[in-house]
Amino acid sequence: MLVLLAAISSTWAQEGGPGGMKTAWVDMQELFADYHKTKKAEREINLERAKIRKRSQSRFEEVKLRRQSLMKLQAQLSSDQLSPAEKEERERLIPLMIREIDKMETQRNRILTQENTRLNDQMAGRMKALLQELVVLVQKTAEEQGYDLVLDSSGRNTSQAPPVAYVRDATDLTPVMRKILAGMAEDS
């Protein structure tokens, strides 16, 4: 598709179409990384990820305490200081505690996975929306400045090569867009 657009652009420019096709390129990855809303979203996501880790660590500490209690019971069981009734009680409690600890670990892992999945889904949605904002802003700027075609220089195909290696007489809109984004950041 991009090759076709480049070919059309080249043909129009060579044929002297209406003033030739005015082309530009922009590095969307650079703009996305510099966008103040992206940075804010990343900070918020990192804070939420830290909260998830803290809650998980708290649940881990509970499991750790249970394991320590289990180890004490097991140590008492091997002690000669317990009466037969006390030994019998410890032997009854140990399998129950093991099942309880396993259940707690399973629940902790399930909750951690669910929370991280939820956060990753939220992050993907937010990033997609922010990228769409940038696309709309690039489109608006391109229209205002009279560009017919704007290519993303950061796009990659399956071989990790940019889809467009060269465009004659194309302008890099990335600095212009960065200034616009910086102005938006100051206004917010």
pLDDT tens digits, 16-33: 344 678 888 888 889 999
Number of domains comprising the chain: 1
Residue 103 predicted with pLDDT over 50: yes
pLDDT bin (cut points 50, 70, 90) of residue 181 is confident
Span 136-155, pLDDT tens digits: 999 999 999 999 888 888 87
Residue 166: the pLDDT is 60
Parallel/antiparallel/unpaired status of strands 23-26 and 170-172? parallel
End-to-end CA distance of the chain: 37
User: pTM for the complete prediction?
Assistant: 0.69
Per-residue 3-state assignment (H helix, E strand, C coil) for the chain: CHHHHHHHHHHHHHHCHHHCCCEEEECHHHHHHHCHHHHHHHHHHHHHHHHHHHHHHHHHHHHHHHHHHHHHHHHHHCCCCCCHHHHHHHHHHHHHHHHHHHHHHHHHHHHHHHHHHHHHHHHHHHHHHHHHHHHHHHHHHHHHCCCCEEEECCCCCCCCCCCCCCCCCEEECHHHHHHHHHHHHHHC
> What are the tokens at 15?
């044929």
Residues near 45 by beta carbon (within 8 Å), at least 6 away in sequence? 119, 122, 123, 126
Show the domain range for 169.
2-187
